[in-house]
Amino acid sequence: MWTSSGALAVGDESRRELERIIRSGKTGQRIALRARIVLGAADGKSNNALAKELGVSRPTVLD
């Protein structure tokens, strides 16, 4: 079984930038997905929960 780890530390400025990346209509889907994964990890969501929420596999979240 996997062990749980704490939330990823993301500063306010970095969080705002990641949110901007997600909202931008010019951001590639791969980059936007990665930004969503980082923000989810910063919110303390588990890898399994993130994978399910975003419709990707757990290894995608882990990469």
**Number of Cβ within a 10 Å radius of residue 36:** 19
Q: Is residue 55 part of a domain?
A: yes
Tell me the pLDDT tens digit for each residue of 28-43: 999 999 999 999 999 9
Q: Is residue 6 part of a domain?
A: no
Q: How many domains does the chain have?
A: 1
Tell me the pLDDT tens digit for each residue of 4-62: 678 889 999 999 999 999 999 999 999 999 999 999 999 999 999 999 999 999 999 99
Q: Is residue 4 part of a domain?
A: no
Q: Is residue 3 part of a domain?
A: no
Q: Is residue 56 part of a domain?
A: yes
Cα(27)–Cα(48) distance, integer angstroms: 25
Q: Is residue 27 part of a domain?
A: yes
Q: Is residue 1 part of a domain?
A: no
